[in-house]
Amino acid sequence: MAGNGMVVCPQPEAAESGVEILRAGGNAVDAAIACALAQTVVDPMMCGIAGFGSLAVYKPADGVHEYLDFHAPAPRAARPDMWADLVEGETRDGFGFVLKGRVNDLGYRSICVPAALKAYEAAHAAHGRLPWKTLCEPAIRWAEEGWFVRPAMYAFWIDEGTMGRTSSAERLAYTASGRALYCRPDGTPKRIGEPLRNLDYAATLRRIADEGAGVFYQGAIAERIAADMAANGGLLDRSDLENYRPVRSVPLEGSYRGRRIATNQPPGGGVMLLEMLNILERFDLAGLGHNTPEYIRVVCEAMKRATVDKDRFVGDPAFVEVPLDRLTGKDYAAGLAEAIRRGEKAEVARLQPADLVPKDTTHLSVVDADGNCVSMTHSLGMPSGVITEGLGFMYNGCMGVFDPRPGRAGSIAPGKSRFSALCPTIVFEGDRPLLVLGAPGGTQIVMGVLQAILNVIDFGMTMSEAVSAPRFSSTSNAIDVSNRIPRFVTRELEAQGYQVIRNPFGHTIAWVHGIRILPDRLDGAADPGRDGVALSA
């Protein structure tokens, strides 16, 4: 393979950090961890060391192809019925529930067990080449020397929230540390181009660089976290930190038009991706035409059926028996495809749906000169807003997506992880990786990754064309479309009885970042809806 490798992600500063590590002799895993740590600095509401995610590693020379899943589990103090009487509604796209007092959405009780840092360290220990401390250095430098507010970051910071969900600005300003770091004197978020520095986080990262993740999970940082949680009524305690372990798993595999699709196991979104690809394999998508009314109808009906199955069946496999063989089976998909061919509309049930489009989470894709590949999506969920004084990082808000109604696949239970649409994916052509990709974007992640794969395989697009083409989605009974999809297209869908909701953004519905691996070069692309880059080493 030509070239010395590539890093693609939504933040130029983080991509630079990953490329620096590749140029210093690190492999794809080293570069991915350095990039991820830098992302926790320069995009502090999208991800963090107190977040969660899913990481794919492919190392052909070592015969390694595995996932490290680090979905943040509910603290041991959580109970299935603790919020059952507080339910006010469910978001339209299925990305969480609205409760009285927003107890699941903002503040200390919204926090699940921090998972990300331990996973970064575990991935490095298993597959890295350079010293751990070296991988931490770029992130420390960004925190100490500073960066600035980017356009996509600012767009998220001023997101107003809807139907009872908390605005991003309120999350930023929830603690004194957040206000000092990210807000102007009047309490509003800092504007595009304004400088940012986080010396508290730099100090935290230095301790982690010197002492490893143990200081966060068992040592001095763990003590400060536990004390803060206890003082403010949090569910998280010291034992949650001490007992957390990421999960190593084999890829969940399927096929699409002769290509092998390797994605993540539940509670990740890979099962939805494979189900949709299996359905769509039964249609001549190229013959329908890209983003024609019939193409959108067919793909959206596949999306709706996968969403219905996700809501009913998919949860943490340690707590829920997920019928994977059925959901990812070609025969099951054939029956669903025939219903779509007959014009049947799937019904996606929502509890008093509230309108919310998630914009959190981040992603990175890395390929090195030896053909090693990493695809990692990581997040804070809808962030909690909590920053422990002096530590500099924000905690996840993962309790907000659990179903507060007991007895369901997504219900709360101590130690249980909730469904996440994260689906870092590698597509193979024969034995050769063809695509390394993934996306941020809440529930829309799987829908964005799906369309990028279809764009390459069915329509012959380059990586840049595939991630830039206008997207649509249906995770409810409505169809959401990018504003670049013409109204003469959506009018035909409306004439068929579909509600079409037009997003004012032209680049939206997840933000896909990927690398297409060609025999003589790497074709990488960052979604134009974010601020990212594809940098060659």
Euclidean distance between the first and final Cα of the chain, in Å? Answer: 13
Which segments of the chain have a pLDDT < 70? 1-3, 92-95, 161-164, 351-359
Closest C-alpha among 133, 117, 125, 126 to residue 24: 133
The encoded tokens of residue 151 equal 């356009």
Residue 267, preceding peptide bond in cis (omega within 30° of 0): yes
151-205: per-residue pLDDT in tens?
999 999 998 765 557 889 999 999 999 999 999 999 999 999 999 999 999 999 9
Q: What angle do CA 481, 97, 119 make, to 5 degrees?
A: 85
Q: How far apart are CA 101 and CA 88, in angstroms?
A: 10
Are residues 340 and 301 in contact, defined by beta-carbon separation less than 8 angstroms?
yes
Spot the catalytic one: 361, 377, 388, 443.
Answer: 361
In 202-354, beta strands by DSSP E:
247-249, 252-256, 259-263, 353-354
Are residues 107 and 162 in contact, defined by beta-carbon separation less than 8 angstroms?
no
Are residues 97 and 403 in contact, defined by beta-carbon separation less than 8 angstroms?
yes
Dmax (CA) for the chain in angstroms is 62
Q: How far apart are CA 106 and CA 503, in angstroms?
A: 26
| DSSP-assigned letter for residue 161 | -
Q: Do strands 373-379 and 52-59 pair parallel, antiparallel, or not at all (unpaired)? A: antiparallel
Residue 443's pLDDT is 86
Q: In what order do the strands lie in the sheet with 97-99?
A: 97-99, 87-91, 353-354
Alpha carbons within 13 A on the beta-carbon side of 304: 25
Residue 95's pLDDT is 65
Are residues 518 and 436 in contact, defined by beta-carbon separation less than 8 angstroms?
no
CA distances from 490 to 200, 493, 499 (A): 49, 5, 9
Say whether 292 is catalytic.
Answer: no
Residue 352's pLDDT is 55
CA distances from 343 to 115, 178, 339, 518 (A): 43, 50, 7, 39
Residue 1's pLDDT is 45
Q: Provide the 10 A C-beta neighbour count for residue 89.
A: 18
Q: Do strands 425-429 and 97-99 pair parallel, antiparallel, or not at all (unpaired)? A: unpaired
245-302: per-residue pLDDT in tens?
999 999 999 999 999 999 999 999 999 999 999 999 999 999 999 999 999 999 999 9
Question: Hey, what domains does the chain have and what are their CATH numbers?
Answer: 249-355+422-529 (1.10.246.130)
Residue partners of 149: CB distance under 8 A and separation at least 6: 157, 189, 190, 191, 192, 193, 194, 196
The encoded tokens of residue 93 equal 């796209």
Residue partners of 140: CB distance under 8 A and separation at least 6: 202, 205, 206, 209
